[in-house]
A and B are shown apart, each in its own frame.
Chain A
């Protein structure tokens, strides 16, 4: 029956671009990931090169789009032909695979190398640890908590660069009068909900968010402050342009780079776009962590290692896991990716002003913020995001209705 299901799923799978390369070596490993853009390819090839230097073979199965990639991984596992390693996000995305005993425990190598001593921040250990054993390797940290701002636009408008959403909203009408779009937002659900997350954490603060998303505390949701988040979010949306629906994040970032728009709320992967366009951090553009209390959100990527009938594969998997956390490899990989490393003893001398800001902040344990994804299943997150997206797009959807619907999701037990 499992085979049956996998055939069915495969039939429905959208065509994905796969890219397979082979070289000689004594341990062969196939890695499924979704790093297909220029900067991302540069990053994954750091892993591939380090692996090949060890005299091994790296089979690269790059699949466009995280969802397609994860679906392929799951199908391959259920279909009995698992890859050696596969990419997931720091989240609950792969918890089912662990519970069904489909993933290889990495505890042997984790204990031997003392992963629990050097993985930083320790929240990453929680993500990967199930019943005292390691099941994934965190490789980087990406944070959503950024506003990307075109400095020229603010200079010409005679306004200071905003540090909070309130300041941004205060200056937005003046920017609009100058014929520039104040807020660049791509109208795709993940971008809308991503920005909503940044707005809510900058207004509410992390303890409040934790109480809602981890403890599912309805009284925290209902204490009156969440309505502020919703109304701020709605005010912000009045300053987007009508070309927003469906626009991709990098096209949206390009609007800020070109000075057509003043600001975008996006994760730190946006920095790569500015770098490619030859812009300098804090000179041409500013990166601002909005809010009085500044946080680094703990997003990012992990690799998991599906169990294989062949006992030799385990050895390969443990070797690869160990390679991925190696400080030298981590430095090369994260410099290429523009993300923060998952340990502190890594050489980050190549970091620019924005990345340095993140590096400084993450040393402070109180500034580390976990996201809803970390505690909740994709089904919960998506039900929540649907409401936020509908709230953004339907002006007749009142704050009171939204609050009721959000409470419904919170108590749904998803």
Chain B
């Protein structure tokens, strides 16, 4: 009976299990039940079937939100990985003042998304940010209106997010690079392999666990992005940078439209499960394989 093998630890874990079950599972069921009602300001059990979902999928705003989360997820993940890896490689060249650079690059990660959002809001503001400074220095042609341009605003959000996340990826990668055996470098130089080739074709595959860890940590941040967008653009201009999380919160609090908010959060939950389930399966399967090796 594996269940009773470690009675003491099972007892210690029990509160956590109970809380997880009641809070997470309970709330999910609760949300689903009330997403089938027309609750407005307060939850009222007034069954209307799947009307809230139908309404949700008709919203132009929801489409924009879903599109944005994909753009953000893609650009943020790829951006962090590429820039983080490049920074790590550059720092790995046994440069002077390495710890100084490492600190500088990791610094943004120490800030909350709220601070990041506000900083970039001021930098990218066309009337008193970077664009204005450039104009005052005499570069009249300089234009940086990403934040107020509805097609580019979501990329401005990505820039701010990458600025914050890249340093963290760099540190992870750097740790990996330091773990590479000197002998590998020696044999690569004996073979006369170009340095950039060795990094991409030999070292990078060896860093696979680091890359996977980085992707997992970044991806977890993608789904929950809320504070950054709230401070940077508040979902604007119009609703060009809204995300599913923003949509849910807005319907919960601003719009007193609980039924709609519940429906949207259930859809969010289902999509996260759909994305995570295959990955989790893969990861556990992999881990078991490593364990048996």
Contact = CB atoms under 8 A, between A and B. Distances in A.
A97 B256 CA distance: 12
A245 B255 contact: no
Interface string B235-253: 0111110000000010011
A377 B256 contact: yes
B43 A5 contact: yes
Interface residues of B, number: 36
Given A67-B253, A378-B256, A243 B44 contact: no
A211 interface: no
B265 to A, nearest CB: 11
B268 interface: no
A244 B150 CA distance: 13
B46 to A, nearest CB: 11
A405 B60 contact: yes
A93 B42 contact: no
B222 interface: no
A382 B148 contact: no
Contacts of A59: none
B60 A67 contact: no
B112 to A, nearest CB: 12
B127 A100 contact: no
Given A96-B44, A100-B44, 11 more contacts: A70-B256, A71-B252, A97-B42, A243-B126, A246-B234, A377-B256, A379-B40, A379-B255, A389-B239, A394-B150, A394-B240
A369 to B, nearest CB: 24
Contact of A242 (B61, B145, B253): B145
Contacts of B234: 188, 246
Contacts of B43: 2, 5
B68 interface: no
Given A187-B237, A245-B236, A68 B255 contact: no
A8 interface: yes
Closest 9 CB pairs of A and B: A393-B238, A243-B127, A96-B41, A379-B257, A245-B237, A393-B237, A378-B256, A382-B255, A245-B148
Nearest to B39: A96
Q: Which of B58, B234, B239, B254 has the most CB of A within 10 A?
A: B254
B55 A394 contact: no
Contacts of B127: 241-243
A71 to B, nearest CB: 5
A9 B30 CA distance: 13
